[in-house]
């Protein structure tokens, strides 16, 4: 058998972003509201004819309130004086200063916009569709997810004009000012010399698109961004797998086109200490910091296969968290 007689398309791609150094900075998850909600649905159908199925989710959540920008920074804004008497402005989260001022230290704000959309249209063929959707606004940890959608779609055209098209899109848009380290972690042994978690602004999108006359497709879309502390990273993953439909003990190909993509823009900061040297300052002078942008990463990837496709597999994953 000649090599050009084997028509196989096999694509695998993985992206992982995870901060694990000490201390390392990345997305801070948002805490849940006191009242949490859940939405779940299950769709299963077998139909010869026309099928339409759509899902749409838009979710915005803040650690404080959904007010207009800018987000609320963490800490107490203060002025220091260097040895020459020049003012130096910055932020502190010193608990002794808060006790002296008799006011709490503002924790800072993080805000997330998440979304999921899916549209499936089939006509002039036999369609099998199963889709399970689970949305939960409560705090998640471990392998739990706030958004979890799984889909299996099989289609066989009954004439040359039969087609099925399906599109999926998963989004996380995360932004946060500098937040106090004390408000972001539950671990009593976690220490942070800067007193703050730096600001961040990260946008990640994943999804797929198909246009087929026959084939069997399975997809999974999941994300987690609501958690009680930053010890659990923000996660997002999407996978798609396609293969032919077996008929009379004979394997066929996926006929048509399949594509999948990931796009990410990741911006991270760090907190620079600006406490001026002044030998005349009291020994318990609070330390001061200012936020700086230190990372800007843009990544995109897409895979498309058209024709008779034996196998199409693509897995994508995004993780962003704080390691101690």
Closest by alpha carbon to 284, among 91, 76, 85, 97?
A: 97
Q: What is the pLDDT of residue 142?
A: 85
Question: Residue 84: inside a domain, yes or no?
Answer: yes
Q: Which helix (H) or strand (E) holds 181?
A: helix 181-184
Whether the per-residue pLDDT at 62 is higher than 50: the answer is yes
Half-sphere exposure (Cβ direction) of 17: Cα atoms closer than 13 Å: 22
Question: Residue 52: inside a domain, yes or no?
Answer: yes
Are the beta carbons of 286 and 94 closer than 8 angstroms?
A: yes
Whether the per-residue pLDDT at 78 is higher than 70: the answer is yes
pTM given for the model: 0.86
How far apart CA 168 and CA 219 sit, in angstroms, is 9
Of all residues in the chain, the percent with pLDDT exceeding 90 is 72
Question: Residue 210: inside a domain, yes or no?
Answer: yes
Question: Residue 68: inside a domain, yes or no?
Answer: no
Closest by alpha carbon to 95, among 183, 27, 221, 188?
A: 183
Confidence class for position 3, pLDDT limits 50, 70, 90 = very low
Q: What is the pLDDT of residue 324?
A: 39
Domain holding 294, by residue range, is 3-62+73-320
- Among 11-25, 42-56, 96-110, 149-163, the range scoring the smallest mean pLDDT is 11-25
Whether the per-residue pLDDT at 9 is higher than 90: the answer is no
Question: Residue 39: inside a domain, yes or no?
Answer: yes
How far apart CA 163 and CA 215 sit, in angstroms, is 10
Q: What is the pLDDT of residue 246?
A: 74
Question: Residue 67: inside a domain, yes or no?
Answer: no
Confidence class for position 221, pLDDT limits 50, 70, 90 = very high
Q: What is the pLDDT of residue 22?
A: 29
Which range has highest mean pLDDT (10-14, 228-232, 270-274)? 270-274
Question: Residue 249: inside a domain, yes or no?
Answer: yes
- If one counts every other C-beta atom within 10 angstroms of the C-beta of residue 254, the result is 26
Are the beta carbons of 1 and 303 closer than 8 angstroms?
A: no
Kindly report, residue by residue over 103-155, the tens digit of the pLDDT.
899 999 999 999 999 999 999 999 999 999 999 999 998 889 999 999 999 99
Kindly report, residue by residue over 229-270, the tens digit of the pLDDT.
778 899 999 999 999 987 665 568 999 999 999 999 999 999
What is the rounded average pLDDT of the residues 265-292? 90
Question: Residue 282: inside a domain, yes or no?
Answer: yes
Closest by alpha carbon to 18, among 236, 299, 272?
A: 236
State the total domains in the chain.
1
* Residue of higher predicted confidence among 23 and 101: 101
Confidence class for position 24, pLDDT limits 50, 70, 90 = very low
* Residue of higher predicted confidence among 102 and 122: 122
Q: What is the pLDDT of residue 10?
A: 34
Distance of CA 169 to the CA centre of its chain: 12
Whether the per-residue pLDDT at 183 is higher than 70: the answer is no
């Amino acid at each position: 058998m000649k090599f050009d007689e084997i028509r196989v398309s096999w694509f695998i791609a993985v992206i992982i972003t995870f901060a694990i150094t000490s201390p390392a900075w990345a997305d801070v998850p948002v805490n849940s509201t006191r009242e949490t909600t859940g939405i779940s649905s299950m769709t299963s159908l077998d139909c010869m004819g026309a099928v339409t199925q759509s899902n749409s989710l838009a979710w915005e959540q803040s650690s404080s309130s959904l007010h207009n920008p800018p987000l609320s920074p963490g800490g107490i804004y203060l002025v220091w004086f260097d040895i020459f008497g020049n003012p130096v402005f910055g932020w502190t989260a010193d608990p002794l200063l808060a006790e002296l001022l008799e006011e709490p230290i503002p924790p800072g704000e993080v805000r997330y916009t998440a979304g999921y959309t899916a549209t499936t249209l089939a006509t002039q063929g036999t369609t099998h569709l199963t889709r399970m959707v689970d949305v939960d606004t409560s705090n998640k940890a471990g392998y739990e997810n706030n958004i979890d959608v799984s889909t299996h779609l099989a289609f066989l055209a009954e004439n040359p004009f039969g087609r099925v098209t399906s599109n999926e899109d998963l989004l996380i848009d995360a932004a946060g000012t500098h937040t106090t380290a004390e408000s972001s972690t539950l671990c009593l042994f976690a220490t942070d010399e800067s007193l703050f978690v730096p600001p961040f602004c990260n946008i990640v999108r994943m999804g797929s698109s198909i246009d087929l006359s026959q084939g069997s497709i399975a997809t999974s879309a999941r994300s987690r961004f609501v958690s009680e502390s930053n010890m659990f990273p923000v996660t997002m993953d999407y996978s798609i797998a396609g293969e032919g439909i077996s008929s009379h003990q004979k394997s066929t190909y996926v006929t048509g086109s399949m594509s999948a993509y990931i796009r990410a823009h990741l911006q991270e900061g760090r907190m620079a200490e600006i406490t001026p040297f002044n030998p005349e300052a009291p020994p318990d002078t609070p330390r001061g910091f200012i936020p700086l942008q230190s990372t800007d990463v843009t990544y995109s990837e897409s895979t498309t296969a058209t024709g008779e496709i034996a196998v199409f597999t693509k897995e994508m994953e995004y993780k962003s968290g704080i390691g101690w």
